[in-house]
Structure 1
Amino acid sequence: MTTHELPPIYQRLMKKYPVVTPEEWLLLDSIAAVKHIRKGESFLRYGKVARYSAFVLSGMFKFSILDDEGNEKIVRFGFADDFLANCESYNKKAPSAVSITAMEDAVILRINIKKLQPLYDLHMNLLHVNLQLFQEMTEQQSEHQYILSLKTPLQRYRFLLERRPAIIQKISLTNIARYLYTSREALSRARLFLLDQSRNFCD
């Protein structure tokens, strides 16, 4: 396969990570596989050691944990072109405390981490992207912690409305409630309050 024969699935990723050369994408392609995951199926299950990472080609995913009562809490969402991984589980060879599950039928580019890691020593561009992905995940984690520090469901929902409208548009109210660590009822009241406010403002 020449650089001109890279599958079309790489076009968006090449635009998002221009530092990676076509030759390096070919290297990744040699250790990657396109996988179809149905809605409700897991990319990574609780208690399993992570062995793969993946780019989301289409579909949506949720990263979720279970609280002490066994209730699901969502810590992150993954959309098209986002990266799926649990580096802590892989590095420590420890059971994953996080489950990564498809929220709709999805297609991913799955990569074996064990085969990927040696490439970082040989290709600085891939290492650069790896650091960029780690930074993105850290920033998302920090933002989620900030959202949870807001005292009311109304403040949390308003933050998403203003800063992360894609979550409001694409994710169900039930799953947004799990992400904001609040009840669906409280979130529904917050949403109605903001809708009423916007109507009054327009009147």
Structure 2
Amino acid sequence: MKYELPAWYDQLMKKYPIVTQEEWQVLDSIATVKRIKKGDAFLRSGKVARNAAFVISGIFKFSIPDEAGNEKIIKFALADDFLANCESYNKKAPSNVSIIAIEDAVILKINQLKLKPLYDQHINLLHVSLQLYQELLEQQSEHQHILALKTPLRRYRFLMERRPAIIQRISLTNIAKYLYISREALSRARLFLPGQRGNFCD
């Protein structure tokens, strides 16, 4: 039975035009909308991943602790991005990554056990799954490239040029954790870039 999809699917349809209206409706039938408060987790380290989600609104960080127990951020997810830990789900192993909301958020949560059988019936959903996996690999590669840059200034400039939404919406503290530098080093680096002072929420 056909029905009208909620408005948040409009952006997903633009991002993944290969998926038909009927396939989005099938996906919607197994999905639930969930609100997550700032600081709460979509997935905690040590838990086995069982769900995936599209971000409707808000921002999430994917974080891991270093050897000293300090938080390092390996990825951000904004509206229309995908939340998942495929390795934890596929291996049925505890996640080494936490996925935490850094502002109040709304997600479209999907149980991966229910999603997997749809791939045989709806090939376009499988194509999107492969595209999401490719995007994840590209993001990991980009982050490794950032960390290979030798100075805080170069790391920050790369982010400013390639991911301006992160610069505009995410706090200086969290950006420093993503660039694997101290907040103070990032503040000093920004002094060399015109127009950057005072653009952060902390």
TM-score of the superposed pair, with normalisation by structure 2: 0.94
Does residue 121 (structure 1) correspond to residue 108 (structure 2)? The answer is no
- What is the aligned partner in structure 2 of residue 171 from structure 1? 170
Determine if the alignment matches structure 1 residue 77 to structure 2 residue 81: no
Q: What letter is aligned with 1:166?
A: A
How many Å separate the matches in 1 of 2:9 and 2:157? Answer: 35
Q: How does 1:1-203 map onto structure 2 within 5 Å?
A: 1-3=1-3, 5-195=4-194
Q: Which stretch shows the higher mean deviation, 8-17 or 112-121? A: 8-17
**Distance in 2 (alpha carbons) for counterparts of 1:47 and 1:196:** 41
Q: Given residue 123 of structure 2, which amino acid in structure 1 is its aligned partner?
A: M
Supply the distance in 1 between the matched residues of 2:8 and 2:157 (Cα, whole angstroms). Answer: 35
Q: Which has the higher helix share?
A: 1
2-side partners of 1:101 and 1:11: how far apart?
A: 25
Q: What is the distance in 1 between the residues matched to 2:195 and 2:31?
A: 49
Q: CA deviation at 1:163?
A: 1.4
Alpha-carbon distance between aligned partners in 1 of 2:91 and 2:141, rounded to the nearest angstrom: 22
RMSD of aligned Cα (Å): 1.5
SS of 1:7's equivalent in the other structure is coil
Structure 1: gaps spanning 5 or more residues: 198-203
* Cα distance per residue 1:28-58 (max 9 Å; x no partner): 1111000000000000001000000000000
Give 1:196 shift: 8.2
Q: Percent identity over the alignment?
A: 75
Q: For 1:142 and 1:66, how far apart are their aligned partners in 2?
A: 20
Looking at structure 2, the residues matched to 98 and 53 of structure 1 have their Cα atoms a distance apart, in angstroms, of: 14
Distance 2:125 2:193 in 1: 44
C-alpha separation between the residues in 1 aligned to 2:195 and 2:148? 25
CA distance in structure 2 between the aligned counterparts of 1:194 and 1:130, rounded to whole angstroms: 39
Distance in 2, Cα, partners of 1:196 & 1:168: 12
* One-letter amino acid matched to 1:85: A
Moved more, 15-24 or 50-59: 15-24
Q: What amino acid sits opposite 1:135 in the alignment? A: Q
Query: How many Å apart are 1:14 and its aligned residue?
Result: 1.3
Matched residues in 1 for 2:14 and 2:173: separation? 34
Moved over 2 A (4+): none
- Please state how far the C-alpha of 1:153 moved relative to its aligned partner: 0.6
Where structure 2 has 5 or more consecutive residues not aligned to the other structure, the ranges are 197-202
Provide the secondary structure at the position in 1 that maps to 2:194.
Answer: helix
